[in-house]
């Protein structure tokens, strides 16, 4: 029997750790206040679980108190045949208008650290 | 250096005041600064960029050694190890097989595969915090160092049993294979699309149990096609041996493709 709750949290822990490693490297010792990430809905990341993992990982670290802003980008496809855009509810890449599978993915696979806000260095 | 510091408690002061007063404050581009004393930095890095860099290094090393690599993924209990036992025996002299065995903390699976003529290296994943649910490129890199790559044609990376995490982590494989047991139901491709979408081949295992199950193969294959129209499907039973030849043929084709291709 798979403990699915744990499975999800562990996955987000690994993703959170990867974000943390990159942010720490880029911050180079400066105080980081906010990290903004863009994660598409086709990635299997549960925002609440990632938020929870982030608090756990940063607590007691140099990034303690740093907020994480998750832009959970909807999965959108564009139909090659009729040109319609469809926002997907299911991970099925199909046109919502003419039902063809001949579509291109416009968004939904993002997995990016977009920006980070660091304390301004007065020089 | 006479630089002012703003500490997190709000105090502002300077060290080693050497009269280089901050007459440069109005110089330069401060457009990225906000009023609250923070500077917004564009990072624009893929979240798993570091993992992917190491995965590329693995891929280069494996290609240089003439090894083709398959990343074998499934839920726990789908039959990866049982199928692998059959596979190693069936491939016999045809291919020299190496196995990197990802396991949370035990050597049970690695023990089950020993003595069949394949090189086995165990990668326990319990060491990394948050890394216990999948193999990442760094763990695989460590495992590669324990295998004699020059005497391997085909490397099978047996990932940790999990339908979520292994799908996101590139480990340097040439192809991704998924073992799916018919006991898992028809709907999983829609619930775990990331793994199903990335699979080059899906081995539908435990088909010997079909007479005892309500599993509807047509519905499952429809769901699979919805998320992954191009994956090859092999019906198999690690218990009876059905489909093992077809699976071995797929692996042999993968291994042969490497030898035909000139090395970069």
Give the Cβ contact number of residue B6 at 10 Å. Answer: 15
Terminal Cα-to-Cα distance of chain A (whole angstroms): 58
Please give the DSSP secondary-structure letter assigned to residue A74.
P
Q: Are the beta carbons of B43 and A114 separated by less than 8 Å?
A: yes
Nearest CA in chain B to A33: B38
- In this predicted structure, what is the pLDDT of residue B173? 97
Partners of A37 on chain B (C-beta within 8 Å) are 47
- ipTM value for the complex: 0.85
- In this predicted structure, what is the pLDDT of residue B102? 86
Q: Strand pairing of A67-73 and A32-40?
A: parallel
Quote the mean pLDDT of chain A.
88
CA distances from A43 to A40, A109, A115 (A): 6, 6, 19
Residue A109 is inside which H or E element, if any?
A: none
- In this predicted structure, what is the pLDDT of residue B86? 95
pLDDT above 60 for B260:
no
pLDDT above 60 for B33:
no
Q: Which of A32, A75, A30 is nearest to A54 (CA)?
A: A32
Structure-model confidence comparison of residues B217 and B102, the more confident one: B217
Q: For residues B32 and A117, give the distance between their C-alpha atoms in angstroms, rounded to a whole number.
A: 10
| Residue B40 β-bridge partners | A117
Q: How far is A119 from chain B (nearest CA, A)?
A: 4
CA distances from A56 to A9, A60, B218 (A): 11, 9, 43
Q: Are the beta carbons of B165 and A111 separated by less than 8 Å?
A: no
- In this predicted structure, what is the pLDDT of residue A44? 84
pLDDT above 60 for B264:
no
pLDDT tier at B28, thresholds 50, 70, 90: very low
Q: Is B215 on the interface with A (CB under 8 A)?
A: no
Q: Are the beta carbons of B227 and A43 separated by less than 8 Å?
A: no
Q: Strand pairing of B97-103 and B232-235?
A: unpaired
CA distances from B81 to A57, B118, B157, B190, B207 (A): 33, 13, 11, 25, 16
A interface toward B at CB cutoff 8 Å? 2, 7-8, 10-11, 13-19, 21-23, 26, 31, 33-34, 37, 39, 42-44, 53, 57, 90-94, 101, 111-123
| Secondary structure E strands in chain A | 32-40, 67-73, 76-79, 85-87, 103-107, 111-119
Q: Is B43 on the interface with A (CB under 8 A)?
A: yes
**Torsion region of A21: left, alpha or beta (phi above 0 gives left; psi -120 to 50 gives alpha):** alpha
Partners of A91 on chain B (C-beta within 8 Å) are 190, 193, 197, 227
């Amino acid at each position: 029997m798979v403990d699915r709750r744990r499975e999800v949290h562990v996955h987000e822990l690994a993703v959170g750790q990867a974000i943390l490693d990159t942010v720490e490297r880029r911050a180079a010792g400066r105080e980081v206040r906010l990290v903004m990430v863009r994660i598409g809905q086709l990635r299997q990341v549960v925002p609440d679980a990632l938020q929870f993992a982030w608090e756990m990982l940063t607590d007691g670290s140099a990034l303690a108190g740093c907020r994480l802003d998750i832009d959970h980008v909807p999965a959108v496809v564009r139909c090659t045949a009729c040109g319609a855009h469809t926002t997907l509810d299911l991970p099925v890449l199909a046109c919502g208008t003419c039902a063809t599978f001949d579509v291109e993915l416009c968004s939904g696979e993002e997995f990016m650290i977009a920006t980070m806000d660091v304390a301004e260095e007065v020089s | 250096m006479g630089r002012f510091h703003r500490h997190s408690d709000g105090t502002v002061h300077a060290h080693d005041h050497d009269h280089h007063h901050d007459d440069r404050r109005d110089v330069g581009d401060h457009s990225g600064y906000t009023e609250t004393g923070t500077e917004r930095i564009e990072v624009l890095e893929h979240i798993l960029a570091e993992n992917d860099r190491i995965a590329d290094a693995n891929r280069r090393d494996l290609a240089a050694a003439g090894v083709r690599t398959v990343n074998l993924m499934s839920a726990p209990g789908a039959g990866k190890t049982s199928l692998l036992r059959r596979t190693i025996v069936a491939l016999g002299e045809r291919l020299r097989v190496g196995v990197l065995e990802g396991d949370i903390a035990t050597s049970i699976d690695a023990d089950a595969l020993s003595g069949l003529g394949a090189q086995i290296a165990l990668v326990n994943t319990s060491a990394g915090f948050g890394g216990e649910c999948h193999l990442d490129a760094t763990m695989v890199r460590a495992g590669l160092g324990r295998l004699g790559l020059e005497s391997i044609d085909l490397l099978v990376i047996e990932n940790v049993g999990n339908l979520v995490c292994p799908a996101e982590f590139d480990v340097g494989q040439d192809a991704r294979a998924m073992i799916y047991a018919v006991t898992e139901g028809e709907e999983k491709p829609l619930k775990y699309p990331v793994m199903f979408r990335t699979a080059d081949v899906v081995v539908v295992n435990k088909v010997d149990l079909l007479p005892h199950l309500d599993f509807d193969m047509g519905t499952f294959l429809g769901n699979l096609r919805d998320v992954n129209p191009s994956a090859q499907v092999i019906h198999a039973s690690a218990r009876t041996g059905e489909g093992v030849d077809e699976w071995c043929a797929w692996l042999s084709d993968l291994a042969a493709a490497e030898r035909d291709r000139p090395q970069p």
